Amino acid sequence: MLYLKKYFTEGLIQFTILLSLIGVRVDVDTYLSNQLPPLREIILGPSSAYTQTQFHNLRNTLDGNGIHPKSVDLDQFFTARRLLNQVRQLDRLSVPCTELNTWLVHRDSETVVSTSSQSSPSITLDNGGGLEDVNNSDATPAMRGGSGAPESTYNLNAADNSLGAVAPEGNQEQGSRDGNDDLTKEDIDLIDILWRQDIDLGAGREVFNYSNRQKESEEEKPKENKDGNEEQESWRNGVNLQDAQPVDGETGESIPEQLPGLGSQTSLSLQECLRLLEATFPFGEESEFPAPVVAPEIVSNEEVPSTSQGLPLAPQLPPAEPQLDLEQQWQDIMAIMELQAMEVNNSSPHSNSSSDSGTSGTTESSAAGNFGLSTASTPVNQDVSLHQASLPSCSQDFPQVFNPQLDSTSITPITTMLRPSSSNSSNINSTFGATNLTGIFLPPHINSSSTNITSTPILPDPFSNLLEESMLDEISLLDLAMEEGFSQAQASQLEDELESDSGLSLDSSHSPASPSSSETSCSSAVSSSSTSATFSEEGAVGYSTDSEVATVETEEGAVGGYQPGFSKLCRMSYQDPSQFHGLPQLGGIGHNHTYNLPLSSAFAEHPELPLSAGKKSVRDKHSKLQPAQDLLDKHASRDERRARSMKIPFSNEKIINLPVEEFNELLAKHHLSEGQLALVRDIRRRGKNKMAAQNCRKRKLDTIINLEQGVHDLRRNKARLLKEKMEFIRSIRQMKQKMQSLYQEVFTQLRDEEGRPYPPSEYSLQYSADGSVLIMPRGVTTAEQNRKPEKKQKDKKK
């Protein structure tokens, strides 16, 4: 069954992705939110909320009618339902509006060695994946992966444009791409420096210049491919695909559309689509569809910044590795869930991120706990874009997306510039580790297999395991993060996950109503039932609902009212503990805390049932043959037997529950002996104390539950604070990097009177209080600088 479920789930997602590829917009949200619990559960996994709902559904389906009218839960019913709904909202990894967009991925075997050559292939990729995320990552440390919302508060792109105005070359990318030969060594060094800094920021240099990208696109359109080789041709398709998307004019981000992957390939024939289907579904034959393979943009995230290393070209991928596609699709799915959970729980104003939350943003988000997918998401809409990206030749394994070493990003910024070049792809495995969280969620063997997965068809298991384990272990993971020194990134990630499922263990079992209130309701119920009982003239209790019992009671002249055992019977009837199987915290629910149930009346309705030990009473339903009196004697409490033996003319229920005045009147009305009076008073005392003890225990239980909830909340709060702290640190780091970049930019543009650049080893820029920037020889003290500036002063507007 589980296997079928897994298979169905994977197939469903694959099919969704394929539909998106073909051109059919697939809005998963309509399915998820359309009252289809099976589908939702299949995709999202069995949430504990639903599991718990089993218990509450027991009542919810009853809609209150099934609750025992005397139940203590009656007055808590609506409150419990309200809270339960809230808990449900918290618990599930809901995907409010999920779209699966796919970008066609072109395997790019182009080898990029030189700095200049890097830009050419990577520009387009960064266009799709890198730039948006860079901007957005800066804009929002939270990295929520917005839906391509262009309103980035901190626009690196714009900042870079301003930088470009300073630079005489105007644009490094342009120069590096178009006029490499014209570049001086200094320019190249500058480019390299800036590029590295950009990489530190999580973006490639190309991403900062939209005009270049646009120009490049224009160049691509006339198919003026300089190289003209096969890879370039393939890559140009990708460019076209990418360019087909609307681009944000301000940030230069590619705004994802429903079918960004169609682009220039909208003419994909049905036959090709079918071949794609075959290629994507693992159980089909291996597709021979050549170039396009579906890969999530996460591929871009693992791109190594150090393309300058010029690693040898990795071997070509086998034609259309369906397994790899599956893995990457699953990455997207998982990332959606993660991002969704975080977005739901953290509706921070930062939520931004364009759809192509590509490289930097993805990395940043990874550092923040996201798994860094290029996920276009708004608070209500998330697009999982399998963006167009070059598929590295090396195999990538799904679990690698999650890496416990993720936290390293918080210290050392991960350069995630997207590189289509195969030289980078050769490093993917190593860089993959930087964002690999698998160690957290997956068994080591799965993780270890990451580097070896090429075409083994046994991928579904890791996927489903990932989903299940990530949901099941979240709380313990947070504990690990909090108690065992997990990194902040991991802690925040865990916290995010936990937020989505928060309160699972503590919530619904706890009835928030105060014991006193419940007690009051119970008492009122008791009194009402008492009044409903028909008392004989002698004061013996008889119930019109059952003549037999009434007869027995009357014959005995005693006391059938207070039947403690029947409370258990009620418990069994309305709070069957079997309903709470596997929910230890709900076990208390099964206990009888409805201590003031009108036992006698209830017993009168079920006279055939024994009065004690509800379970036994259910089992012994058929034992009617046994005389009722024997049953009564057998199951009656001590006080009941005593009262019966002492011929007390009224029920224990009356003795216990009557107000003092009425109780005294009752005693006065009946002329009782001293022994009888003493027994009656003892019965009253013990009965009241018994209820008090029950209430006390219930209160204790509630207190414990509340304390647990408090601990849980505090842990969540702590994780959230840690996450915020990490985001602040990251933001500060980015600002510093940006500042350094600007410094380098300005400094390298400065020339002395003779047009010579200032050597960085001899001069440095100093900032004055009025905002001006001075270039000063190194070693000159600030005081000296103030007295006699040696060099020219240059104001910079930033």
Under the rule (CB under 7 A), what is the footprint of DNA?
515-516, 519, 564, 567-568, 571, 587-588, 591-592, 595, 613, 615-616, 637-639, 659-660, 663-664, 682, 684-690, 692-697, 699-700
CB of 660 to DNA, least distance (A): 4
Distance CA 628, CA 643 (A): 17
Distance CA 498, CA 492 (A): 9
Closest CB to DNA among residues 153, 664: 664
From residue 120, how far is each of 205, 207, 429 by CA, in Å? 11, 12, 23
The 793-794 sheet, strands edge to edge: 763-767, 773-777, 793-794
CB of 558 to DNA, least distance (A): 16
CB of 64 to DNA, least distance (A): 23
Q: DSSP characters for 397-441?
A: -GGGG-BGGGGHHHHSPPP-----SHHHHTTHHHHHGGG-BHHHH
CB of 698 to DNA, least distance (A): 9
Six-digit token pair at 413?
A: 């910024």
CB of 602 to DNA, least distance (A): 14
From residue 717, how far is each of 154, 496, 533, 723 by CA, in Å? 27, 11, 53, 10
Closest CB to DNA among residues 45, 564: 564
Distance CA 31, CA 95 (A): 10
Closest CB to DNA among residues 24, 678: 678
CB of 538 to DNA, least distance (A): 23
Distance CA 381, CA 275 (A): 30
Q: Which helix (H) or strand (E) holds 243?
A: helix 230-243
CB of 615 to DNA, least distance (A): 5
CB of 83 to DNA, least distance (A): 22
CB of 45 to DNA, least distance (A): 30
CB of 436 to DNA, least distance (A): 41
The 98-102 sheet, strands edge to edge: 98-102, 382-386, 375-377
Three-class secondary structure of residue 21 per DSSP: helix
Distance CA 660, CA 680 (A): 13
Longest Cα–Cα distance of the chain, Å, equals: 125
C-alpha neighbours within 13 Å on the C-beta side of residue 614:
19
Closest CB to DNA among residues 281, 595: 595
Q: Which helix (H) or strand (E) holds 385?
A: strand 382-386
Closest CB to DNA among residues 693, 714: 693
Residue 285, burial from CB neighbour count under 10 angstroms (0-12, 13-18, 19+): exposed
Closest CB to DNA among residues 90, 658: 658
Report the chain's terminal Cα–Cα distance, integer Å.
62
CB of 639 to DNA, least distance (A): 5
In the numeric block, the tokens 């006391």 are attached to 559
Distance CA 256, CA 246 (A): 7
Six-digit token pair at 540?
A: 């013996």
Q: By the 8 A CB rule, do 766 and 744 touch?
A: no
Closest among 492, 446, 447, 497 to 470, alpha carbons compared: 497
CB of 499 to DNA, least distance (A): 31
Closest CB to DNA among residues 141, 588: 588
Closest CB to DNA among residues 205, 571: 571
Q: Which amino acid is at 477?
A: L
Closest CB to DNA among residues 325, 639: 639
Closest CB to DNA among residues 664, 706: 664
Number of H helices, E strands in the chain: 36, 11
CB of 352 to DNA, least distance (A): 50
CB of 606 to DNA, least distance (A): 17
The residues, any chain, with a CB within 8 Å of residue 181's CB and separated by 6 or more, are: none
The residues, any chain, with a CB within 8 Å of residue 605's CB and separated by 6 or more, are: 545, 546
Q: By the 8 A CB rule, do 60 and 68 touch?
A: no
In the numeric block, the tokens 């509450």 are attached to 56
Report how far Cα 757 is from the mean position of its chain's Cα atoms: 52
Closest CB to DNA among residues 324, 672: 672
Q: DSSP characters for 632-654?
A: HHHHS-HHHHHHHHTT-SS-HHH
Closest CB to DNA among residues 26, 611: 611
Three-class secondary structure of residue 533 per DSSP: coil
Closest CB to DNA among residues 162, 703: 703
CB of 511 to DNA, least distance (A): 15
Closest CB to DNA among residues 303, 702: 702
Closest CB to DNA among residues 377, 567: 567
Q: DSSP characters for 175-198?
A: HHHH-GGG--HHHHHHHHHHHHHH
CB of 671 to DNA, least distance (A): 18
Torsion of CA 384, 387, 393, 397, to 10 degrees: -10
Q: Which amino acid is at 437?
A: L
The residues, any chain, with a CB within 8 Å of residue 218's CB and separated by 6 or more, are: none
Closest CB to DNA among residues 81, 699: 699
CB of 520 to DNA, least distance (A): 9
Closest CB to DNA among residues 366, 567: 567
From residue 723, how far is each of 200, 438, 474, 486, 727 by CA, in Å? 21, 20, 16, 12, 6
